[in-house]
Amino acid sequence: MNSPIFNDFLAKVMSKVKSKEAHKMIEKELHHHLQELSHSFQNREDSNEEAERKAVQEMGDPYSIGEKLNKLHKPRMDWVLLILFGMIGAISFLPLIGNAPGPSFLERQAIWLGLASIVTLSFLFFDYRKLMNWWIGFYVSGVLLLLYLLVFGITQNGVLRWISFGGFTVDVTTFTMLFFFLAWAGIFTKETMFSGWRQIVMFVLFWIPFILYMMLPYFPYSIFYFFCVLMMFTFSHISKKNKIIMITANITTCLLFIVPILINFRGSRLSERLLSFLSPEKYFNGPGYMYILIKEFLADAGWFGNGLNGNSTIQALPEAHTDFAFPYLVYSLGWAFGIFLSILLLVFLWRMSQTASKTKDHYGKILVVGGATLIAVPAIWNILMGLGFAPIINVSLPFVSYGGSSLLFYSAVLGIILSVYRRKDIVEPTEI
């Protein structure tokens, strides 16, 4: 019902609310209260127009209401998370001091970090809700990129990860992970997609990217993808019965799929790394050497380390600026710094996860859960790997290890989480 009296009142209220994104939600809420008041006055035998006037008077001064709502519903900036991002970004230069493959790596890292900041801010100010209905495009783009990679990709260290564009080599696997993350976040807002025969379609859609990652072969991304989708699915509004069916089916399929690969491909690079983790001495002349080397470096680290340029023996540690940045920092700066960095990353992850509990938007919560998982799994795995408590695979430490594509990817995920936090008091609640 279009009421000139109500519209005039709402216009005055909205004139004091600076956030345009909050207008629709506030107008809907206030209009509902005005209608309730109007109906209560009409029951007292007041005319429709008189009831509306009394309803407006009952609400109070519209300008005062608008000023209060402006304070309540305004964009929020998670400065704590941004400060933590800045601190971790500064630490990313340390593995490059005295250990970078070339003198230009420090300059490149500065450029990448600048670009990462731009990416983070771009997603922060972008309304994440506009991404929800693009899930089909994201999913198809991710699958097509992986198929293109399998046919035309560039192999390095036995893995298809790169595509050449006009002389530039791009790690497209990181972008596919971002696409699948956004795709499944949108899918999980469609509860009807997981009922009846559609469950079979969702089951197939889940396993297509997983299998493609295994075909590259890039086992780490299969792990990240699996846990990201599983966590988002767990926190979705899909019925418990369908959750139990889908989770049981996927976990069972994963075990039946992974175990035969490890058995049938005994002697492959992946199986050797896993077996050498269990018995490093047995594979001393192969992958087991890294576990023994890392153990020796950590034993010699001490509380305050040997200095970033203090000992040439650290040069024996390969990829110290990427996959093994954590043990390099522990050896160079000591266990005190290693503990500090671990706590810093844990607080960073905890702060991100808190956004999920603060937002009442279902889609926003799923994005935060999935995004936090995409950062938490590689971070925890890399630290445990650097301590010798997890198998060595090609996984970098988010925001710390050198690598432009991965840094941009994690920055995009962080920006999306910050975007959800920014709008937690603006978007209309959808939690049930």
With 0.75 as the threshold, say if the pTM is over it. yes
Higher-confidence position of 48 and 232: 232
Q: Mean pLDDT across the stretch 347-367?
A: 90
Summary mean pLDDT of the chain: 82
Would you state the pLDDT for residue 258? 65
Q: Tell me the torsion sign for CA atoms 34, 38, 39, 41.
A: positive
Asked whether residue 267 carries a pLDDT value surpassing 50, the answer given is no
Question: Is it the case that residue 1 has pLDDT exceeding 70?
Answer: no
Tokens of 123: 């997603």
- Where would I find the H helices in 216-287? 219-234, 240-264, 269-278
| pLDDT (0 to 100) of residue 266 | 46
d(CA 31, CA 336): 58
DSSP letters spanning 388-429? TSS---S---TTTS--HHHHHHHHHHHHHHHHHHHTTTTSPP
* Per-residue model confidence (pLDDT) at position 166: 66
Domain spans, the chain: 4-72, 80-125+300-432, 130-248
Distant-in-sequence, close-in-space partners of 198: CB < 8 Å, separation ≥ 6:
192
* Residue from 26, 91, 106, 96 nearest 62 by CA: 26
Return the SS3 of 170: strand
| pLDDT per residue as tens digits for the range 131-183 | 999 999 999 999 999 998 888 888 776 677 777 776 667 788 888 999 999 99
Burial 53-62 (b: 16+ CB within 10 A, else e): bbbbeebeeb
